[in-house]
Each structure stands twice: as structure tokens, then as C-alpha cells.
Structure 1
């Protein structure tokens, strides 16, 4: 996964949680371009996220954080709050098969 794919996933999930866009209906695709990505000042954060998580983990990370804070900024993704939110969410998801 490269930084543009990370940006595209972030944008699609942000739209899913903040508007009537349906991530599953459009299979995570949204209308983003390389030029819109290059205009952003936060390119470094997307590059760092793309190195840290694979595509499946990135979706899980973003879903867990958007569900707890709908106004999450990409720069907040490296804070302790977002990381702990992801860990707690992952723990709950993995324990579902044991509890049910």
C-alpha cells in the first residue's frame, strides 16, 4: 500500500462516517485524485500510516477511530489515544469468538 491508497481509504471511510456515502456500496472507492493528494500538507502522515499498517489493518484502524471520534484528523492517528482506541477495538473484535 502506498500513501495515495492510504489517502483514498482515509477519505472513503471519513465520507462513510460523516455523509451519506456508503463504503460498502462503492467498495471503498471515492473520487480522489493525485493532484488533490499532492495539495494536502499532511502527506507525511499518510506515508507513515501506509508503512505501519497493511490495507486490512488500516481499514480496521480507521474504523475503530472514526467510530469513537468522528472528527479525527489524520495527524491524530499517531497519538496515544488513537493507538489505544485501536488496541481496545481489536481486543473486543478478537474476543467475540470466545464470548459467543
Structure 2
């Protein structure tokens, strides 16, 4: 009868070890899943920041280009205006008026 009891105790111990091992395995898997999820979230956050930065950079380049174009247009208009003023001042009638 002691043998039966020893066998039962041994099986019980084996079962407890298996259960503990299973619990540890599940916790390890849960931890790995959590770490994987955190890694995915971190990669996603990084990608979102990179995308935002790219959009901001693109908008900044666009603004710079618009300012450059506006400045070029204003400079061109100023040159044309000065050219017209110069032509107008050169076109003054230089004929002599009789003095009298």
C-alpha cells in the first residue's frame, strides 16, 4: 500500500511540475507577445514621426519655393517698372521751344 501511495505522490509531483512548467511557458509566451506588441507599437510610432517630419519638410520646401517665386516675381516687376520709367524719362520731348 505504501507503494501505491508513493506512486500517487510521485504522479502528483510530476503533475504539479508539469502544471508549473505550463504556467511558466504561458507567462513567457504572454511576455513575448507583450514585448512584440510593444515593439510593433514603437516601430509604428517611429514611422508616424518620420512621416510627420517628411510632411513638415515637404511643406517647408514648398513654402521656401513659394517665397523664392514671389521674390523673383517682385524683382522682375521692379526691373520692368524701372525699365519703363527709364524709357519714359528718355522719351521726353527734347525739341527746342521758341523763346520769346
The structure showing larger relative contact order (alpha-carbon pairs under 8 Å, at least 6 residues apart) is 1
**Comparing both structures, which one devotes a greater share of its residues to helix?**
2
- TM-score after normalising by structure 1: 0.21
What is the TM-score normalised by the length of structure 2?
0.21
